[in-house]
Amino acid sequence: MPHSDVDDSASCAPSFTTDASDGAHGPRRGAKKYKWHKRFAYQKFVGWRPILTPRIAELFFLSAGVLLLALGIPVLIASLNVVEVRVPYAFEGPFTSGAQQANQETLWAQQAASANGDGGVQYTVSVLIPKDMEPPIYVAYELSTYFQNFRRYARSYDPTRMHDGSSSGSPVSACNPFSYLGDNNSFPINPCGQIAQSFFNDTFSFAVADEGSLQPVAVDSSSIAWSSDADNLYGAVPAENYNPGGAAAPLRGGNTSDVVLNANQHWMVWMRPHSQVAAQKLWGSINVPLEAGTNLTIAVTNRYNTYNYNGAKTIILSTNSWVGGRNNFLGACYIAVGGLSLLMALFFFLGYDLGLIWKRQYGDMVNVSWLREAGKEVQQQQDDMRAAASSTGKADGAAVQVQAYQDDAASEDQSQQRSPPFRQQAGGGGRAPDAV
- Rounded Cα distance between 360 and 168, Å, is 78
pLDDT of residue 328: 93
Tell whether the model's pLDDT for residue 15 goes beyond 60.
no
Mention every residue, 6+ apart, whose C-beta is less than 8 A from residue 279: 142, 143, 146, 148, 273
- Single-letter residue type at 113: A
Average pLDDT over residues 304-330: 93
Confidence of residue 265 (pLDDT cuts 50, 70, 90): very high
Q: What pLDDT, on the 0 to 100 scale, is given for residue 122?
A: 94
Q: Is the pLDDT of residue 21 over 70?
A: no
C-alpha–C-alpha distance, residues 320 and 138, integer Å: 8
pLDDT band at 111; cut points 50, 70, 90:
confident
Per-residue model confidence (pLDDT) at position 23 = 46
Residue 87: is its pLDDT beyond 60?
Answer: yes
Q: What is the pLDDT of residue 222?
A: 92
Give the mean pLDDT of 154-164.
Answer: 92
Q: Work out the pLDDT band at 394, boundaries 50, 70, 90.
A: low
Q: Is the pLDDT of residue 107 over 60?
A: yes
Q: Are 234 and 261 in contact (CB under 8 A)?
A: yes
Reported pTM? 0.69
What pLDDT is stored for residue 7 in this prediction?
Answer: 46
Q: Provide the pLDDT for residue 14.
A: 44
Q: Which tens digits make up the pLDDT trace of 34-55? A: 788 888 888 887 777 777 888 8
Give the pLDDT mean for 399-414. 58
- Mean pLDDT across 127-140: 95
pLDDT: is 18 or 394 the higher one?
394
